Copies of this chain bind each other. A is one copy, B any other.
Amino acid sequence: MAGFKHALDVTREQDFSAWYQAVVTGADLAENSTIRGCMVIKPYGFAIWELMQKILDDKFKEHDHVNAYFPLFIPLDLFEKEAEHVAGFAKEMAIVTHHRVEHRDGKLVPTSPLETPLAVRPTSELIIGESMARWVKSYRDLPLLVNQWCNVVRWEMRTRLFLRTTEFLWQEGHTAHETEEEARAETLLMHGVYKWFICDILKMFGIPGQKPEYDKFAGAVDTYTIEAMMQDGKALQSATSHYLGQNFSKAVGITFQGRDERLCHAHTTSWGISTRVIGGLIMSHSDDDGLNLPSAVAPYHVVIIPIVRDSADSADIMEYCTSLKKELSQKSIRAFVDRKEISPQNKKWDYVRKGVPLILEIGQREVNDELVCCTTRTTLEKGSMSRSEFVNRVASMVLEHDETLQKRCEDNCKRRLNSSVKTLGEMKEFFAGSGNGFVVAKFNPTVTDVSALDEMAVSVRCIPTQQSNTVGKCIITGTETETDAVFAKSY
């Protein structure tokens, strides 16, 4: 690759963090706003989120969930009802204290203080639970299977576009069940939906598993997670599903008359995935030329760039491009004709940076000979083929693109998966080198003091669902255990 100029100013090897920022900017996905920690999701980035929403929303509804909408604000006295929960969020809540402003000394200042301050929701277990408490009377009213798409706010001191922002968008599912068994089945069902979404739809490399005791969601009995590996070997917690037991139903009073006519507390769950996953998608598939997108969430599968060198040809070329777009649309291929007046060479690289799977350049030669000139985003290979062949092959070319992405990501991640570490010393060696990645090692799941990992900046990411079922010594305590855990640095 010597001498080859990449489409971004910085490569992954030079500076992974600067490269990430360059991919986001180069693809025009998002930008920082003037409000501390809040991002603007620009149209191309938002189009990816819309495609994600549609895929997930359809799947949730397939499983009988319904959408609803609950208040943005949560009174502080409601928050106090679940002690662990409030402890988990107290340090990062935006609080509304006034409901008016006035000019004083030429400056706008808040007036009309509220009696009870309101938290801007960091998550909605309590406020949705309170509604559920009103809705449930008998076991016949269960299960309640509710989902909400919304914004949430967690005050973050160090923010990064998509990965960690003060405000983010997400969906939060909240369900209430008659029995523990049903609630646990729901928790696992949605954990499975997330695994499908992250690994099969987004083609990311993710390890499903359970969070260790010390790192569960604040107020949960059990937390399930998909830990995805990024190209630098770090982990991104990509979607979580929680079995909440009766903790929240006792806090807000979700009671019902059971089959034996006795008053019972419901068992609840919650599960969510956020715009953070866009950051994970970027760090899984992008390369030194910019973004790469799996077809399911690519706003366009094909971009068609008219190359007009002589304005006399313009009408012919545009007509060819437009009719080609129409033909592709009929095959459910999302195609787009670029019409902006910038030089053709720049245009192609714009779409390379945006990760459009197939980039067509159409000039007078293509029109005359009924050809397309096609660049494949993953390989940047460029070739000519007849228009009819392209139209016939386009669906399989998109599939091939997806397979290339998935294989590339999987190969990279599997290389960084280490199962031979047996001691803390070996683990330190692994994480000290350039060999970042996931270490699968023995861990006693009841351990809550993991300070031995701190100097490596490593944490227990999950206890993977797939266990080796061998006995070994816990990497922290040295006690015998059967449990494997995944250790990694993380975002």
**Residues in A91-127 with C-beta less than 8 Å from chain B:** 91-102, 107-110, 117-120, 127
Q: How far is the CB of A56 from chain B (nearest CB, A)?
A: 14
Contact A96 B99 (CB under 8 A): no
Question: What is the CB-to-nearest-CB distance from A112 to chain B, in angstroms, rounded to a whole number?
Answer: 8
Most chain B CB within 10 A, of A71, A100, A101, A118, is at A71
Near B by CB (< 8 A), chain A positions 113-161 give: 117-120, 127, 130-131, 134, 140, 146, 150-151, 153, 155
- Tell me if B131 and A33 are in contact (CB < 8 A): yes
Known: A66-B43, A70-B40. A99 touches B92 (CB 8 A): yes
Q: Are B34 and A75 in contact (CB under 8 A)?
A: yes
A46 within 8 A of B: yes
**Which residue of chain B is the closest to A156 with respect to CB atoms?**
B99
Residues of B within 8 A of A72 (CB): 38, 120, 151, 153, 167
Whether A35 pairs with B75 at a CB distance below 8 angstroms is yes
Cβ contact within 8 Å between B70 and A50: no
Q: Which residue of B lies closest to A39 (CB)?
A: B71
- Of B34, B35, B68, the contact of A41 (CB 8 Å cutoff): B68
Decide yes or no whether A341 CB sits under 8 A from chain B.
yes
A3, B169: Cα distance in complex, Å: 53
Q: Roughly how many angstroms separate A43 CA and B38 CA in the complex, as a whole number? A: 30
Which residues of B are found within 8 Å of A140, using beta-carbon distances?
340-341
- Contact indicator B97/A69 (Cβ below 8 Å): no
The answer to whether B73 and A167 touch across the interface, beta carbons within 8 angstroms, is yes
Quote the shortest CB–CB distance from A473 to chain B (angstroms).
41
Q: Judging by beta carbons under 8 Å apart, are A108 and B31 in contact? A: no
Once A108-B90, A140-B340 are accepted as A-B contacts, the answer to whether A71 and B40 lie under 8 Å apart by CB is yes
Q: Mark A12-49, 1 if CB is under 8 A from B, else 0.
A: 00000000000000000001011100111111011101
Q: Which residue of B71, B146, B167 is within 8 Å of A71 (Cβ)?
A: B167
Candidate in A31, A74, A100, A340 with the most chain B CB atoms within 10 angstroms: A100
- Per the bound structure, the CA–CA distance linking A120 and B95 in Å amounts to 11
CA distance A16 to B43 in the complex (A): 44
Question: Chain B residues near A99 (CB, 8 Å)?
Answer: 92-95, 155
Please, which residues of chain B bring their CB within 8 A of the CB of A91? 100
Please report the C-alpha to C-alpha distance between residue A254 and residue B126 in the assembled complex, in whole angstroms: 42
Contact B68 A40 (CB under 8 A): yes
B residues in contact with A33, CB < 8 Å: 70-71, 127, 130-131
A78 to chain B, nearest CB (A): 7
The answer to whether A97 touches B95, judged by C-beta atoms less than 8 angstroms apart, is yes
Structural contact, B77 and A108, CB atoms closer than 8 A: yes
Nearest residue (CB) in B for A70 is B40
Q: Say whether A86 faces chain B, with CB atoms less than 8 Å apart.
A: yes
Q: How far is the CB of A223 from chain B (nearest CB, A)?
A: 23
Q: Are B67 and A46 in contact (CB under 8 A)?
A: yes
Task: Give every chain B residue within 8 A of A221 (Cβ-Cβ).
Answer: none
Indicate if A80 sits at the interface (CB-CB under 8 A).
Answer: yes
With an 8 A cutoff between CB atoms, is A224 at the interface?
A: no
- Report B-chain residues with C-beta under 8 Å of the C-beta of A34: 75, 78, 130
The answer to whether A46 and B69 touch (CB under 8 A), given A95-B96, A100-B93, is yes
List chain B residues, Cβ under 8 A from A110.
76, 95, 97, 117
Q: Which residues of A contact B (CB under 8 A)?
A: 31, 33-35, 38-43, 45-47, 49-50, 66-80, 86, 90-102, 107-110, 117-120, 127, 130-131, 134, 140, 146, 150-151, 153, 155, 167, 169, 340-341
Top-8 shortest CB links A-B: A38-B71, A43-B66, A41-B69, A99-B155, A95-B110, A95-B98, A76-B108, A97-B97
Q: List 14 A-B contacts (CB under 8 A).
A: A34-B78, A35-B73, A35-B118, A38-B71, A43-B68, A49-B69, A77-B108, A90-B102, A95-B99, A97-B110, A98-B117, A99-B155, A109-B117, A140-B341
